[in-house]
Structure 1
Amino acid sequence: MRFITTIQKLLVLKRGKLTKRFENWMEKALKCTTSEIRSFAKGILSDFTAVHNAILLKWSNGQVEVQINKLKTIKRQMYGRCSLELLKHRLVMQLD
């Protein structure tokens, strides 16, 4: 139950965009007795700037990630089956 409460508090912070409370939550999570929560908090801490900016800023790189995933999918489908020129042509045609 304590684990669920801790995660619910994190979700409220994300929805509310409260950065100071996020830092307080991180401190508590790193001291938590539940190893899963500590591990999760350490993962967030390893990339704290990115997570903090995701809470603070309204910008997202979601659309860029979609395009990258499309490119990777096409590349995997074509691997070993065609020349570089055909791969380039398919990438250009697929993204239009």
Structure 2
Amino acid sequence: MLTHLTGQHLPKWINDVRAAELPGLSSFAGGLEQDLDAVIQGLTSRWNSGPVEGRVNHIKMIKRQMFGRAGLPLLRKRVLLTAASSACTTTLAHHDRP
């Protein structure tokens, strides 16, 4: 469902999980049912927040590395510098393609 964007199959999967009576998966399936329409939309749409989530995780990693060492001004500078350097790397990688 994730790689082929076939979220319409989710209700059947949830029923199969419930029938299998696996406690961990049944609980997970129940959580999915709480907002089933949104989950199905997320599994069928080609749009995703992956790039944003990746950037957020990167910022959190920088923050953890600097824990207790510096304040917001230095954290801001490091985040902006790494964003600029990754943008340059991405741009160069796109230009290297045939």
- Structure 1 length normalisation: TM-score? 0.67
RMSD: 2.3
What residue number does 2:28 align with? 40
What residue number does 2:51 align with? 63
What residue number does 2:6 align with? 17
**Superposed CA offset, 1:49-82 (max 9, x none):** 3321122211111111110000000111112101
1:78 pairs with 66, 86, 91, which one?
66
**Superposed CA offset, 1:20-70 (max 9, x none):** x32233244335433334223113223423321122211111111110000
**Which residue identity is paired with 1:36?**
G
Size of the aligned set, in residue pairs, is 83
Structure 1 residues without counterparts, runs of 5 or longer:
1-12
Displaced runs of 4 or more, over 6 A: none
Percent pairwise identity: 30
Structure 2 residues without counterparts, runs of 5 or longer:
85-98
Which structure ranks higher in relative contact order (CA pairs < 8 Å, sequence separation ≥ 6)? 2
- Structure 2 length normalisation: TM-score? 0.66
